[in-house]
């Protein structure tokens, strides 16, 4: 008889939560961070924001939340931290859109 580590009947199991955090949430955070980067980096010499930095840093921006989601021991805390980061970056994008 096979033993199961999941005892509840809900859809959101720890394995699915980890998959959602490491997959779609990590990509969402990376994309939102790329959109909010003009707040972090200064304006370029020609008056244009640096466009290459978000493209070069995208693998790191994706890898950090991915590995955090996969390696975190406390899934509830990982969910709250990653959601908070996504909200902060979305707020940064909103500030950029209203300022321009």
- 55: tokens are 């493209």
- d(CA 14, CA 56) in angstroms, rounded, equals 32
- 45: tokens are 């010499």
Structural domain including 31 reads 14-40+50-99
- d(CA 94, CA 73) in angstroms, rounded, equals 32
- Does residue 1 lie within any of the structural domains? no
- Does residue 55 lie within any of the structural domains? yes
- Does residue 88 lie within any of the structural domains? yes
- Does residue 5 lie within any of the structural domains? no
Each residue of 39-93: pLDDT tens digit?
877 777 766 667 778 888 899 999 999 999 999 999 999 999 999 999 999 999 9
Each residue of 2-31: pLDDT tens digit?
545 555 568 889 999 999 999 999 999 999
Counting the structural domains of the chain, the total is 1
- 24: tokens are 């779609």
- Does residue 72 lie within any of the structural domains? yes
């Amino acid at each position: 008889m096979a033993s199961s580590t999941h005892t509840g009947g809900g859809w959101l199991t720890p394995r699915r939560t980890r998959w959602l955090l490491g997959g779609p949430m990590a990509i969402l955070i990376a994309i939102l961070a790329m959109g909010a980067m003009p707040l972090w980096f200064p304006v370029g010499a020609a008056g244009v924001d640096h466009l290459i930095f978000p493209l070069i840093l995208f693998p790191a921006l994706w890898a950090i939340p991915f590995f955090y989601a996969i390696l975190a021991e406390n899934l509830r805390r990982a969910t709250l931290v990653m959601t908070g980061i996504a909200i902060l970056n979305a707020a940064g994008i909103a500030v950029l859109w209203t300022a321009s």
